[in-house]
């Protein structure tokens, strides 16, 4: 059984990748499962810090994007919208090149809030960052 409000395909995600921070940072949604959502982001001049490694803030943007889009795909969009309320990130190892991929899974899906766990891994599958995101569900 799926957690999504309706059946979605990756083609439906094209709307989330234009004229916003996803486009600016090169974030692309790559997989939608019955209870998870994944996206990748390049580690390049748009996402590194002056020391030449992935900026922690870029990791947080990837994590919040996954949870925010995920929550908005769970609720009835004619009645609700979802916004980030709180995020925590633990940066585990540096990454200097390639891309990172984040996968979000819900921990809690309530009527007024969702909580997501997001793991971000490098090209070698090694953990780069873990995040926990709380989303507020707001009536339109």
Spell out a b/e string for 88-125, using b for 16 or more CB atoms within 10 Å of the CB, else e: ebebeeebeeebbbbbbbbeebeeeebbbbbbbbbeee
Residue 19 DSSP class: S
Catalytic, out of 28, 45, 64, 119: 64
75 is written with which tokens? 């609720």
Any residues with CB less than 8 A from the CB of 17 and at least 6 apart, and which? 23, 27, 28, 29
56 phi/psi in degrees, rounded to 5? -60, -35
The question of whether 64 is a catalytic residue gets the answer: yes
Q: In this structure, what DSSP letter does residue 125 have?
A: S
Catalytic positions: 64
């Amino acid at each position: 059984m799926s957690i999504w409000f309706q059946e979605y395909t990756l083609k439906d995600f094209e709307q989330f990748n234009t004229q916003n921070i996803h486009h600016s940072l090169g974030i692309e949604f790559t997989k939608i499962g019955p209870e998870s959502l994944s996206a990748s982001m390049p580690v390049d001049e748009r996402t590194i810090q002056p020391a030449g490694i992935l900026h922690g803030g870029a990791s947080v943007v990837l994590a919040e994007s996954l949870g925010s889009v995920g929550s908005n795909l769970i609720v009835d969009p004619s009645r609700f919208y979802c916004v980030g309320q709180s995020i925590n990130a633990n940066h585990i190892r540096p990454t200097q090149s390639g891309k990172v991929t984040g996968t979000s899974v819900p921990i809690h899906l309530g009527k007024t809030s969702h909580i997501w766990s997001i793991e971000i891994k490098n090209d070698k599958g090694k953990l780069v960052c873990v995040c926990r995101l709380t989303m507020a569900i707001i009536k339109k």
